[in-house]
Copies of this chain bind each other. A is one copy, B any other.
């Protein structure tokens, strides 16, 4: 409900491998993805250098399902979340720590294969999920025949219920909308400058 301080991470990068999705006893999905960001620079000898940073990210519930459905190795994504370091024990019983980004917002940044009409199914190089599947395998995702590029937001435990299988419940977050008595704001079809 509240928080003291701000703990925010923003990433744009590419998946190092396909998402790993698993389900908890209560039916909630959890997905792990690893995302690479990189920077390059010239060192003091003028040599071009590059360094890749790998980020371990975890997504829950609806976000996990979307990730599992639509992302694959190489996909470019925008992620927003918070840092969390968890403790675990290695085989020797030693305490270890792993820092992860708990994602609460995701945007896919690859242009959709098959977008824009025609262009047809399959993929392979588009980094979108399930490209090899038969065209009829759809439906579960709820994104329709021509699946909309899903852009997902998932606050903290946003889908409400723990203990219930993830379902397409109404999101707790809708845009803060122009109420009748606010000034008009219709920008839908023209650019104001």
Contacts and interface: CB of A to CB of B under 8 A. Distances in A.
A133 interface: no
A19 to B, nearest CB: 14
Given A4-B151, A7-B53, A156 B173 contact: yes
A182 to B, nearest CB: 7
Contacts of A184: 86-88
A137 interface: no
A40 B171 CA distance: 12
A86 to B, nearest CB: 4
B149 A4 contact: yes
A12 B187 contact: no
Nearest to A177: B157
Given A76-B109, A173-B158, A42 B151 contact: no
A177 to B, nearest CB: 6
Interface string A32-48: 00101111111110000
A188 B10 contact: no
Contacts of A92: 92
26 contacts: A1-B41, A1-B42, A1-B174, A2-B40, A2-B150, A3-B151, A3-B153, A4-B151, A5-B13, A6-B12, A6-B78, A6-B107, A7-B53, A7-B55, A9-B9, A28-B179, A34-B193, A51-B185, A60-B176, A78-B78, A83-B83, A85-B185, A86-B182, A97-B98, A157-B173, A157-B176
